[in-house]
Copies of this chain bind each other. A is one copy, B any other.
Amino acid sequence: MENKHATLTAAMEDYLKAIYELQATTGTTTTTALATALNISAASATNMIKKLAELKLARHSPYRGVELTTAGEKIALEVVRHHRLIELFLHQALGIPWDEVHVEAHKLEHVLSDNLENHIADFLGDPTKDPHGDPIPSKAGIIADRERESLADGAPGARVTIQRVGAQDPARLRYLRELGIVPQARVNIVAHAPFEGPVRVRTEDGAEHALDRGLARQIWVAEKSRPKTRVHAPRKMIKGSRQ
Protein backbone atom coordinates (compact mmCIF):
# COMPACT_ATOMS: atom_id res chain seq x y z
CA MET A 1 0.00 0.00 0.00
CA GLU A 2 2.10 2.86 -1.30
CA ASN A 3 1.67 6.26 0.15
CA LYS A 4 1.26 8.41 -2.91
CA HIS A 5 1.70 11.79 -1.32
CA ALA A 6 4.30 11.27 1.37
CA THR A 7 6.44 13.41 -0.82
CA LEU A 8 4.36 16.55 -1.18
CA THR A 9 6.04 19.77 -0.14
CA ALA A 10 4.63 22.24 2.34
CA ALA A 11 4.00 24.63 -0.52
CA MET A 12 1.95 22.04 -2.40
CA GLU A 13 -0.08 21.32 0.70
CA ASP A 14 -0.83 24.99 1.15
CA TYR A 15 -1.92 25.30 -2.47
CA LEU A 16 -4.22 22.29 -2.20
CA LYS A 17 -5.73 23.60 1.00
CA ALA A 18 -6.23 27.07 -0.49
CA ILE A 19 -7.86 25.67 -3.63
CA TYR A 20 -10.12 23.55 -1.46
CA GLU A 21 -11.18 26.48 0.67
CA LEU A 22 -11.78 28.79 -2.26
CA GLN A 23 -13.84 26.11 -3.91
CA ALA A 24 -15.83 25.53 -0.74
CA THR A 25 -16.52 29.19 -0.03
CA THR A 26 -16.73 30.85 -3.42
CA GLY A 27 -17.54 27.92 -5.69
CA THR A 28 -14.63 28.30 -8.09
CA THR A 29 -10.91 28.86 -7.93
CA THR A 30 -9.37 31.39 -10.26
CA THR A 31 -5.65 31.86 -10.60
CA THR A 32 -5.83 35.36 -9.22
CA ALA A 33 -7.93 34.40 -6.22
CA LEU A 34 -5.48 31.64 -5.42
CA ALA A 35 -2.50 33.96 -5.79
CA THR A 36 -4.19 36.49 -3.54
CA ALA A 37 -5.05 33.89 -0.92
CA LEU A 38 -1.47 32.66 -0.80
CA ASN A 39 0.07 36.10 -1.16
CA ILE A 40 2.11 35.19 -4.21
CA SER A 41 2.15 36.34 -7.82
CA ALA A 42 -0.31 35.01 -10.37
CA ALA A 43 2.58 33.56 -12.37
CA SER A 44 3.69 31.51 -9.37
CA ALA A 45 0.15 30.23 -8.96
CA THR A 46 -0.06 29.16 -12.60
CA ASN A 47 3.25 27.41 -12.20
CA MET A 48 2.15 25.36 -9.24
CA ILE A 49 -1.28 24.67 -10.71
CA LYS A 50 0.45 23.00 -13.62
CA LYS A 51 2.56 20.90 -11.30
CA LEU A 52 -0.47 19.80 -9.34
CA ALA A 53 -2.26 18.96 -12.57
CA GLU A 54 0.77 16.94 -13.63
CA LEU A 55 0.43 15.00 -10.39
CA LYS A 56 -3.28 14.44 -11.03
CA LEU A 57 -4.19 16.35 -7.90
CA ALA A 58 -5.91 19.15 -9.78
CA ARG A 59 -7.49 19.83 -13.16
CA HIS A 60 -6.43 22.95 -14.97
CA SER A 61 -8.59 24.61 -17.60
CA PRO A 62 -6.22 27.23 -18.98
CA TYR A 63 -7.58 30.73 -18.50
CA ARG A 64 -10.66 29.31 -16.76
CA GLY A 65 -9.49 28.10 -13.35
CA VAL A 66 -8.53 25.04 -11.30
CA GLU A 67 -10.36 22.37 -9.41
CA LEU A 68 -9.19 19.53 -7.26
CA THR A 69 -9.40 15.93 -8.33
CA THR A 70 -10.66 13.40 -5.82
CA ALA A 71 -7.06 12.63 -4.90
CA GLY A 72 -6.29 16.31 -4.47
CA GLU A 73 -9.32 16.91 -2.32
CA LYS A 74 -8.41 13.99 -0.12
CA ILE A 75 -5.02 15.52 0.60
CA ALA A 76 -6.51 18.97 1.10
CA LEU A 77 -8.83 17.53 3.72
CA GLU A 78 -5.91 15.88 5.49
CA VAL A 79 -4.15 19.22 5.68
CA VAL A 80 -7.32 20.89 6.93
CA ARG A 81 -7.66 18.15 9.55
CA HIS A 82 -4.09 18.76 10.67
CA HIS A 83 -4.64 22.48 10.84
CA ARG A 84 -7.80 22.32 12.88
CA LEU A 85 -6.63 19.58 15.21
CA ILE A 86 -3.56 21.64 15.95
CA GLU A 87 -5.58 24.78 16.54
CA LEU A 88 -7.78 22.98 19.01
CA PHE A 89 -4.87 21.27 20.70
CA LEU A 90 -2.97 24.50 21.20
CA HIS A 91 -6.10 26.11 22.54
CA GLN A 92 -7.08 23.30 24.88
CA ALA A 93 -3.75 21.96 26.03
CA LEU A 94 -1.80 25.20 26.23
CA GLY A 95 -4.53 27.78 26.58
CA ILE A 96 -3.39 29.68 23.52
CA PRO A 97 -6.03 32.26 22.57
CA TRP A 98 -8.17 31.63 19.52
CA ASP A 99 -6.75 34.60 17.68
CA GLU A 100 -3.20 33.21 17.88
CA VAL A 101 -3.70 29.56 16.97
CA HIS A 102 -4.16 30.00 13.24
CA VAL A 103 -0.72 31.34 12.51
CA GLU A 104 0.91 28.58 14.54
CA ALA A 105 -1.19 25.84 12.96
CA HIS A 106 -0.34 27.07 9.48
CA LYS A 107 3.28 26.09 10.08
CA LEU A 108 2.75 23.01 12.21
CA GLU A 109 0.20 21.42 9.86
CA HIS A 110 3.00 20.46 7.45
CA VAL A 111 5.19 18.65 9.92
CA LEU A 112 2.56 16.66 11.78
CA SER A 113 3.23 12.95 11.44
CA ASP A 114 0.46 10.44 11.33
CA ASN A 115 1.57 9.21 14.70
CA LEU A 116 1.41 12.64 16.29
CA GLU A 117 -1.90 13.38 14.61
CA ASN A 118 -3.37 10.27 16.18
CA HIS A 119 -2.02 11.08 19.61
CA ILE A 120 -3.52 14.55 19.42
CA ALA A 121 -6.89 13.33 18.15
CA ASP A 122 -6.89 10.83 20.98
CA PHE A 123 -5.99 13.42 23.56
CA LEU A 124 -8.83 15.63 22.35
CA GLY A 125 -11.32 12.78 22.16
CA ASP A 126 -11.73 12.80 18.39
CA PRO A 127 -13.11 16.32 18.20
CA THR A 128 -15.32 17.55 15.37
CA LYS A 129 -14.86 21.32 15.68
CA ASP A 130 -11.91 23.64 16.06
CA PRO A 131 -11.88 26.73 18.31
CA HIS A 132 -13.56 28.83 15.61
CA GLY A 133 -16.30 26.26 15.13
CA ASP A 134 -14.86 25.03 11.83
CA PRO A 135 -15.56 21.33 11.28
CA ILE A 136 -12.61 18.95 11.57
CA PRO A 137 -12.58 16.39 8.77
CA SER A 138 -12.53 12.83 10.01
CA LYS A 139 -9.55 10.60 9.44
CA ALA A 140 -11.52 9.17 6.51
CA GLY A 141 -11.99 12.60 4.97
CA ILE A 142 -15.61 13.20 5.93
CA ILE A 143 -16.39 16.78 6.80
CA ALA A 144 -19.59 18.29 8.12
CA ASP A 145 -21.59 20.62 5.91
CA ARG A 146 -21.20 24.33 6.15
CA GLU A 147 -23.79 26.33 8.06
CA ARG A 148 -26.04 28.31 5.75
CA GLU A 149 -27.27 31.09 8.01
CA SER A 150 -25.21 33.98 9.29
CA LEU A 151 -25.91 36.61 11.87
CA ALA A 152 -26.70 38.92 8.96
CA ASP A 153 -29.41 36.55 7.74
CA GLY A 154 -31.22 35.80 10.98
CA ALA A 155 -34.55 37.49 11.42
CA PRO A 156 -34.78 40.19 14.09
CA GLY A 157 -36.08 38.62 17.27
CA ALA A 158 -34.44 35.29 16.52
CA ARG A 159 -32.59 33.51 19.26
CA VAL A 160 -29.58 31.77 17.74
CA THR A 161 -26.54 29.78 18.72
CA ILE A 162 -23.18 30.78 17.32
CA GLN A 163 -21.81 27.89 15.28
CA ARG A 164 -18.79 29.19 13.52
CA VAL A 165 -16.77 32.39 13.34
CA GLY A 166 -15.30 32.84 9.90
CA ALA A 167 -13.22 35.93 10.67
CA GLN A 168 -9.48 35.26 10.68
CA ASP A 169 -8.13 38.63 11.62
CA PRO A 170 -6.72 38.44 15.18
CA ALA A 171 -7.99 41.88 16.18
CA ARG A 172 -11.55 41.03 15.13
CA LEU A 173 -11.32 37.66 16.86
CA ARG A 174 -10.23 39.30 20.09
CA TYR A 175 -13.05 41.78 19.79
CA LEU A 176 -15.64 39.06 19.29
CA ARG A 177 -14.23 37.07 22.18
CA GLU A 178 -14.57 40.09 24.41
CA LEU A 179 -18.20 40.40 23.42
CA GLY A 180 -18.74 36.72 24.18
CA ILE A 181 -19.43 35.89 20.56
CA VAL A 182 -17.82 32.45 20.38
CA PRO A 183 -19.08 29.05 19.24
CA GLN A 184 -21.93 27.72 21.37
CA ALA A 185 -22.84 31.15 22.75
CA ARG A 186 -26.48 32.19 22.46
CA VAL A 187 -27.39 35.58 21.13
CA ASN A 188 -30.59 37.37 20.27
CA ILE A 189 -30.76 39.22 17.01
CA VAL A 190 -32.25 42.59 17.88
CA ALA A 191 -32.36 44.40 14.55
CA HIS A 192 -30.67 45.04 11.24
CA ALA A 193 -30.00 48.68 10.55
CA PRO A 194 -31.03 49.69 7.02
CA PHE A 195 -28.69 50.39 4.09
CA GLU A 196 -26.38 47.53 5.00
CA GLY A 197 -25.92 49.03 8.44
CA PRO A 198 -24.85 47.20 11.58
CA VAL A 199 -26.60 44.22 13.10
CA ARG A 200 -27.67 44.69 16.72
CA VAL A 201 -27.40 41.61 18.92
CA ARG A 202 -27.87 40.91 22.60
CA THR A 203 -25.42 38.52 24.18
CA GLU A 204 -25.96 36.20 27.10
CA ASP A 205 -24.82 38.73 29.66
CA GLY A 206 -27.63 41.00 28.53
CA ALA A 207 -25.39 43.53 26.80
CA GLU A 208 -26.32 44.78 23.36
CA HIS A 209 -23.74 45.22 20.62
CA ALA A 210 -23.78 46.59 17.10
CA LEU A 211 -21.78 44.54 14.63
CA ASP A 212 -20.65 45.66 11.23
CA ARG A 213 -22.71 43.90 8.56
CA GLY A 214 -19.59 42.46 6.92
CA LEU A 215 -18.47 40.98 10.18
CA ALA A 216 -21.96 39.66 10.93
CA ARG A 217 -21.89 37.84 7.62
CA GLN A 218 -18.86 35.89 8.80
CA ILE A 219 -20.58 34.65 11.92
CA TRP A 220 -22.59 31.51 11.27
CA VAL A 221 -25.47 30.50 13.47
CA ALA A 222 -28.15 27.89 13.99
CA GLU A 223 -31.72 28.72 14.98
CA LYS A 224 -32.15 25.80 17.31
CA SER A 225 -29.65 25.77 20.09
CA ARG A 226 -27.98 22.41 19.88
CA PRO A 227 -25.79 21.82 22.89
CA LYS A 228 -22.30 20.79 21.90
CA THR A 229 -19.09 19.81 23.60
CA ARG A 230 -17.33 22.86 24.93
CA VAL A 231 -14.56 23.93 22.67
CA HIS A 232 -13.20 26.93 24.46
CA ALA A 233 -10.79 26.68 27.33
CA PRO A 234 -12.01 28.44 30.45
CA ARG A 235 -10.90 32.02 30.73
CA LYS A 236 -8.03 32.57 33.06
CA MET A 237 -8.45 36.21 33.84
CA ILE A 238 -11.35 37.65 35.78
CA LYS A 239 -12.17 40.75 33.83
CA GLY A 240 -11.08 42.56 30.75
CA SER A 241 -10.17 39.06 29.84
CA ARG A 242 -8.81 38.59 26.38
CA GLN A 243 -9.27 35.00 25.53
A residues sitting closer than 8 Å to B (CB atoms) are: 90, 93-96, 100, 103-104, 107-108, 110-111, 113, 115-116, 119-120, 123
Contacts and interface: CB of A to CB of B under 8 A. Distances in A.
A82 to B, nearest CB: 12
A104 B100 contact: no
Count of chain copies = 2
Nearest to A113: B104
B119 A94 contact: yes
Given A96-B115, A96-B119, 16 more contacts: A90-B116, A93-B93, A93-B123, A94-B116, A94-B119, A95-B119, A103-B113, A104-B113, A104-B115, A104-B116, A107-B111, A107-B113, A108-B108, A108-B111, A110-B111, A111-B111
Contacts of A111: 107-108, 110-111
A116 B96 CA distance: 8
Contacts of A95: 119
A97 to B, nearest CB: 10
Nearest 3 pairs of A and B residues by beta carbon: A107-B111, A94-B119, A104-B116
A123 B104 contact: no
Contacts of A90: 116, 119
19 contacts: A90-B116, A90-B119, A93-B123, A94-B116, A94-B119, A94-B123, A95-B119, A96-B115, A96-B116, A96-B119, A100-B115, A103-B113, A104-B113, A104-B115, A104-B116, A107-B113, A108-B111, A110-B111, A111-B111
